[in-house]
Structure 1
Amino acid sequence: MIKLIFSDMDGTLLDENGQLPAEFDAVMGQLQERGVQFAPASGRQYFSLLKSFHKYEDQFIFVSDNGTIVRQHGKELFSDIIERDTAREIFNLVNDIDGIYNVFCGKETVYLLKRKNPEIQMDELKKYFRAVEIVDSFDDIPEEPIKVSFFTPDADAAEKIYPLFAPYYDSMQVVLASAFWVDVTNKGANKGMAVKALQERLGLKPEECAVFGDYMNDLEMMGAAYYSYAMENAYPPLKEAARFIAPSNAEHGVMKTIKEFIAQGLC
């Protein structure tokens, strides 16, 4: 029986217009009746997830920032912090490259460099982050980084950003999060790690969990649950890693699949 369902947000749970399916609340009600927990698992900041799911603050488990921080009932369950000197080294690789924007992700706030003209990226950033501060330098930020992210407005992150971090492929978790984003976390800090940690904490087996995703920051999740679903619209390597394929996000594939679980008595 499935007892815990994890879902990525953009390109997965949200449709092509960035909206939740109209039937979301009804399906969540059915899951709650069956004692099945739901966990948004996203590269988004916790406060961005909370804005989308404010009525579920005390019901959902929130896996934010690509699994580097997990909260329930507003309280942190666990997190993974990057050493500040390492974050500084990584930022320095791209600080002087035009068209690449740096994001320092703390537990509470994300920070952007003023000199990088952050207004260029604010529309994109607002999809993922709610608590945002513009700073002159990352050096005096009071928070520790849990993730460092890099954005290009040209949708060419795979070619423009990802190869720059080749020196860190072995020592850090470098992932292509979308056509626009590359995220860097500590090695092993990812959504799959968070899924496994929650399984251990809650006494669940992989066969009791389902996961849904569409991009490479969902890769490790595919190996952490038996019911691993890549969306029909997913990045091809992720579809190869998943056990099953769900209908596309435009077809509300997560909701359709969950309703199939219920109809088949899987949850």
Structure 2
Amino acid sequence: MERLENIKLIVADLDGTLLDENKQIDSDMPSLLPAMREQGIAFTFGSGRNMHIMQDYVSQLQVDIPYITNNGANMFEGRRCIYECSMSSSDLLLALTLLKQRGIPFLAYSNFAVYPVGSHPGLTKFMERLKGKSDIIETKTIHEIIEHSIFKVVIIHDDEILMKQVMDEINNNCKEAHCVRSEGDIYTLTHIDASKGNTLKKLMELMKVSSDQVLVFGDNYNDTSMFDVVKYSVAMGNSTKEIQDKATHVTKSNEEQGVSWFIKNYVLEKL
């Protein structure tokens, strides 16, 4: 395979892509940053994570351009939100009431706090990451939650049939809120226009780069919208065949530093 020429922007997902199973960043990435800057290649994140739990990685890789959070519901520059796409209170009331009636636990995110309803070990892990970084308010009712600007709701349930029914009911009855499967038994509810791909298009406009100058890395369902809006997309070796088939290239796994390996071998000019 030949080197990809004229790449000006690289966007990488975090979990399952740039991070290994211990949530440690690709160890070879920091050493690549000087060469990337010298060759005019900017680097940023496109993540489903909340801004608060991305800050360590933003600092570690010195990301100084906007980055995508909450599966595209927000874009931040530093700690300043420069784009947001929240859900209407009417859609939230419908969707969250349905989830509660079905006994499905969820975690609603605003930029200032998270609101858990129900319990699940997976949601507990999300909240542990947020301790000391964002307020966790466990006493709110659904009516109190929807008074706030909610950008994302994380839902965890292992019954695929039930979740398919719930997703269909939400997506068929909400005007703008949309529920999708992110990875495994994790689902996300966001505004229908809030996808990583749509927000990446806004970032490309901001950076004044074209779709054939952008390279994206991802490993799961919520990354494929980014694959759709650029010429070059790379699926991780640990992703499913379904995800790999949607990308233009496949690299090594996240445990094998697949992001840095691909950049070194197929993006950077040999020094």
Please indicate, yes or no, whether the TM-score normalized by the shorter chain is above 0.5.
yes
Q: Specify which of 50, 53, 72 is matched with residue 55 of structure 2.
A: 50
> What's the counterpart of residue 3 of structure 2?
none
Indicate the RMSD between aligned Cα atoms, in angstroms.
2.3
Question: Cα 1:26–1:157, aligned 2, differ >3 Å: closer, same or farther?
Answer: farther
**Distance in structure 1 (CA, Å) of the matches to 2:240 and 2:38:** 34
Shifted more, 62-71 versus 177-186: the winner is 177-186
Residues 1-267 of structure 1 mapped to structure 2, 5 A cutoff: 1-56=6-61, 59-98=64-103, 100-113=104-117, 116-117=118-119, 121-127=123-129, 130-131=133-134, 132-141=136-145, 143-152=148-157, 156=158, 158-169=160-171, 171=175, 172-264=177-269
Identity percentage over the alignment?
22
> Which TM-score applies when normalising by structure 1?
0.87
**Distance in structure 2 (CA, Å) of the matches to 1:202 and 1:83:** 29
SS of 1:168's equivalent in the other structure is helix
Question: In the TM superposition, what whole-angstrom CA distance separates every residue of 1:190-214 from its partner, at most 9, and x where no partner exists?
Answer: 0000111111222211111011111
SS of 1:177's equivalent in the other structure is strand
Once the two structures are TM-superposed, the CA of residue 53 in structure 1 deviates from its matched residue by 2.5
Q: Is contact 2:28-2:257 (8 Å) kept?
A: no
Question: Cα 1:160–1:231, aligned 2, differ >3 Å: closer, same or farther?
Answer: farther
SS of 2:148's equivalent in the other structure is coil
Q: Is contact 2:66-2:203 (8 Å) kept?
A: no
Question: Cα 1:58–1:121, aligned 2, differ >3 Å: closer, same or farther?
Answer: closer
Once the two structures are TM-superposed, the CA of residue 174 in structure 1 deviates from its matched residue by 2.2
* Paired AA for residue 220 in structure 1: S
The number of residues matched between the two structures is: 259
**Distance in structure 2 (CA, Å) of the matches to 1:91 and 1:235:** 30
> Which TM-score applies when normalising by structure 2?
0.86
Question: Cα 1:135–1:260, aligned 2, differ >3 Å: closer, same or farther?
Answer: farther
Question: Cα 1:111–1:7, aligned 2, differ >3 Å: closer, same or farther?
Answer: same
> Which residues of structure 2 form unaligned runs of 5+?
1-5
Question: Cα 1:264–1:54, aligned 2, differ >3 Å: closer, same or farther?
Answer: closer
Q: Is contact 2:7-2:267 (8 Å) kept?
A: no
Once the two structures are TM-superposed, the CA of residue 119 in structure 1 deviates from its matched residue by 7.0
> Which residues of structure 1 form unaligned runs of 5+?
none
Once the two structures are TM-superposed, the CA of residue 5 in structure 1 deviates from its matched residue by 0.9
